[in-house]
Chain A
Amino acid sequence: MGRIGGTGMTDLLFYALSALAIWSGWRVFRVDSMIRATFALMVSFTSVGGIAVLMAADYIGVATVFMMAVEMMVMGLFMVMFMMNPAGLNPMQMVHQYKFSIAAGVLGFVGLATAVLLTNFPDNPLPENRDTLRDLGIELLGGSMLIFETAGVTLLATMVGAVALSSRRGRFGDSDAGAAPPGLHPGGEPAGRKVEKGGGHGGHGGHGGHQMNMEKTKQDSSDDPHKGHGNMSETEA
């Protein structure tokens, strides 16, 4: 582990890890395969963890690497389970509002960098012989215990929420049974706009229930969700 303000080796490692973090972060949104994007994001997180270790935040750095490794594995699994085209084998358009997004990203970077360069930050670096790990432990289970415990309860609530959101049905019927607004008259159609069915299926080639979905979208084509979704469905039909 390094100490800040140290040798040229620390600097060299920092610049190498920064370059790796930014390059792999850029690759996340440029590669065709979503699985590769997941691993690129993992490399980016690992590099940031390495930079944190260089800054003597050992615990944060190592915890970041561990947490992100697990998270990215889950993400990769989800890509394969749910997403269109996870391996990038079908050529299709995966982005929208491209120019606007580039402009927003560049503007965000330039704005933040300008703010960084124009601000005079206080210069109180980490003392040379401070035991940061011990500090963190005392803080977590001492002065800031309430904050730490609140984070724990928040994670518990998240687990409950995730289970409730993703369960198919609860004890009293479908999990979203209470989500429909009441009818305009007893037993009638629910109020509000009609839900779009079968949206976003442009990329699923050779899919079992596809024909049925196509018919459904033909029926309620008031605002067509298939507009500009790749060209797989047209060639199939």
Chain B
Amino acid sequence: MTLTAILIVAAALFGIGLFGALSQKSFVMLMMGLEMMLNGTLLAAVGFWAFTLEGAPKGQLLAILVMAVMAVELAIGFALVVAVYRKREADVIEGIGTMKQ
């Protein structure tokens, strides 16, 4: 287990997430793509902490912040899905061609 191997796994997870976020039509699947990208970011943050920082605890703090970002993204994302569905009855991205009222 080396830093290079971990970062390459993280890059693969990020790439898969990017593909998913760009290709999926459904809002929730798009959010899953974003989550997958953050998954790779989390792995990279922990890897950097373990291999380059001599165990400085601020690296773990960064990982915790990444997890907080995940939670915020998910909560606001779901609230937006509810709002858009209620207003426009749209559940795919093409359903909201216009963002203006």
Contact = CB atoms under 8 A, between A and B. Distances in A.
Q: Please report whether the interface of chain B is mostly helix, strand, loop or mixed according to DSSP.
A: helix
B101 A190 contact: yes
Contact of B23 (A45, A96, A112): A96
Contacts of B53: 124
B32 A82 contact: no
Given A51-B43, A94-B29, A95-B25, A44 B74 contact: no
Nearest to A49: B42
Interface residues of A, number: 110
Nearest to A168: B86
A223 B94 CA distance: 11
A34 B35 CA distance: 15
Contact of B92 (A102, A163, A200): A200
B61 A162 contact: no
Contacts of B13: 21-22, 25, 44, 48
Given A57-B63, A63-B67, A162-B78, A14 B55 contact: no
Contacts of B9: 18, 21-22, 51
B61 to A, nearest CB: 5
Interface in B9-35: 9-20, 22-29, 31-33, 35
Contacts of A101: 18-20, 22-23
A187 interface: no
Nearest to A60: B63
Contacts of A158: 71-72, 75-76
Given A96-B23, A113-B8, A199 B90 contact: yes
A204 to B, nearest CB: 9
10 contacts: A25-B13, A60-B42, A63-B67, A82-B81, A109-B12, A123-B51, A138-B57, A151-B64, A200-B90, A225-B94
Lowest 5 A-B CB distances belong to which pairs?
A: A200-B95, A105-B19, A109-B15, A199-B95, A101-B23
